[in-house]
Structure 1
Amino acid sequence: MSGLNPCNGFSKFDISKIVAFSEMYPDDFNMNDSGCILGELKIFYHSVKEDDRFLNLDGICHLAQVMVETGKNLSFPLFYRILKLALVLPVSTATVERCFSKMKLIKTDLRNRMGDGYLNNAMVCAVEGETFDEVTNEDVMVRFLAMKGRRGEF
């Protein structure tokens, strides 16, 4: 992802690193795309080096914004797809790491025999804590009563 850096007039822009990055995701880039990426990157690099709108970029997020504003995302769809993948990747990785940290807290030595259903429910409650903070006890009771008839009254 470091090869995508547009800072200092694309001084760290490395086509070989970008091609290697795209090859790590064969589900996102098929064989036809892989053949076209190298050519598209070379054309993109030479076109933005001469464009004043791409001079003072401070990161790949800013590069993506300027690409959309100038319409270059339509001219260079494969590069734009690589750029979007690079922007989304840290967020998805952090979410997975957060889930594993929560699971480590839930599944301890004392609770190592819990079933899959219980573990799944506990994980949802732990990971989506902000959502469950908005649910009141009354909402839970109303939902529980609506499930089926009970013998006793609440």
Structure 2
Amino acid sequence: MSLVGSTKRQLQLFRDDGWNSLMMKVSAFCEKHELETVEMEADFVDSKRRRKKTGVSNMHHYKVNCLYAVLDIQLQEFNDRFNEVNTELLICVASLSPIDAFSEFDHSKLLRLSKFYPDDFSSGEFISLEQELSIYIDNVRNDDRFSNLKNLGDLARLLVETRKHMSYPLVYRLLKLVLILPVATATVERCFSAMKIIKTHRRNRIGGSIFE
């Protein structure tokens, strides 16, 4: 999530102050390869409608309609995929990681993670999970079989092989929910992609109630 934040800040910085440096690189490239440069103050001419005036300069077209438009799409995509809720969810998920002897383990974050699944944990199980997590982390950290795990899939597999999933059923349930998260998300996104194909503007005019 730290890298996501840095990427968003760099994209925003480039949007705010990157135009001049970009144009310097473009000019140097054109000069090196003897290419004709575009006069930025001249009127922009649409190659598909040359006779129709666009009313904007080349500067406005390439800076606003091209560069800014692409950067805004990228920033919006980051904000949509990594909103406040998703960000907190991913940070909490990282606390289950077995890498480096479970160095990322955080008791409070895992309890917050369970709150994302109110239908899977009863109020009594929330209380039991708090106690179970303390015993679980002490046990796996002192078990050499869990010392070299690299991902959550390996952790889940070894919990079953050692039958510890029966000793820590709530932790194992939380782990399973985390493991299916990418698959569930991808399935939902594929459904929306399919809806975009089915629910076109023309079909919407016929009637949209069947899609709601």
TM-score of the aligned structures, taking structure 1 as reference length: 0.73
**Counterpart of 1:10?**
102
Q: Displacement of 1:34 after TM fit?
A: 0.5
Larger relative contact order (CA 8 Å, sep ≥ 6): 1
Encode CA deviations 1:118-145: one digit per residue, 9 max, x unaligned: x69xxxxxxxxxxxxxxxxxxxxxxxxx
Aligned length, in residue pairs:
119
Q: Displacement of 1:37 after TM fit?
A: 0.7
**Counterpart of 2:190?**
98
- Which of 169, 173, 179 is equivalent to 1:77? 169
Whole-Å separation in 2 of the counterparts to 1:36 and 1:81: 13
* Unaligned residue ranges in structure 1 (runs of 5+): 121-154
TM-score of the aligned structures, taking structure 2 as reference length: 0.53
**Counterpart of 1:47?**
139
* Unaligned residue ranges in structure 2 (runs of 5+): 1-92
Q: CA RMSD in A?
A: 1.6
Q: Displacement of 1:116 after TM fit?
A: 5.8
The percent identity for this pair of structures is 50
Aligned ranges for residues 1-154 of structure 1 at < 5 Å?
1-112=93-204, 113-114=206-207
Whole-Å separation in 2 of the counterparts to 1:90 and 1:72: 24
Whichever of the two has the greater Rg, that structure is: 2
- Structure 1 residue ranges (4+ consecutive) displaced by more than 3 angstroms after TM superposition: 114-117
Amino acid of the residue matched to residue 113 of structure 2? F
Amino acid of the residue matched to residue 43 of structure 1? I
Encode CA deviations 1:29-80: one digit per residue, 9 max, x unaligned: 0011001111100100001111000001111111000000001000000000
